[in-house]
Amino acid sequence: MNTQKLTQKSIEVIQKAQSIAIDNQNQQIEQVHILVALLTVDDSLIKQILKRMKVNDNFENSVMDEVRKLPKVMGSRKMDSVYVAQDVDEMLNDAEKIAEKMKDEYVSVEHLMLALFNKGNQKVKELFKLFNIFFTSLIEYILLFFTDIGILYILNNLYIGSLYSLDIISFILLILIFLLIRLHILSIT
DSSP three-state, residue 108 = coil
2: left (phi over 0), alpha (psi -120 to 50) or beta: beta
How buried is 21 (Cβ within 10 angstroms: 0-12 exposed, 13-18 middle, 19+ buried)? buried
Predicted confidence at residue 169, as pLDDT, reads 58
Binned at pLDDT 50, 70 and 90, residue 81 comes out as confident
Q: What average pLDDT does the segment 52-68 reach?
A: 94
Q: What average pLDDT does the segment 95-124 reach?
A: 92
Is residue 159 scored above 50 in pLDDT?
Answer: no
Torsion of CA 132, 134, 139, 144, to 10 degrees: -20
* CA quadruple 21, 26, 31, 36: dihedral sign: negative
Predicted confidence at residue 57, as pLDDT, reads 84
For 135-157, write each residue's pLDDT tens digit.
Answer: 888 888 887 777 665 555 555 55
For 4-48, write each residue's pLDDT tens digit.
Answer: 899 999 999 999 999 999 999 999 999 999 999 999 999 888 999
Question: Which of 48-52, 74-78, 82-86 has the least mean pLDDT?
Answer: 74-78
Is residue 67 scored above 60 in pLDDT?
Answer: yes
Q: What average pLDDT does the segment 50-70 reach?
A: 94
Query: What rounded mean pLDDT belongs to the chain?
Result: 83
Contact 127, 63 (CB under 8 A): yes
Q: What is the pTM of this model?
A: 0.77
**Angle at alpha carbon of residue 180, lines to 179 and 181, rounded to 5°:** 90
Binned at pLDDT 50, 70 and 90, residue 82 comes out as confident
What is the C-alpha separation between 29 and 88, in angstroms, rounded? 7
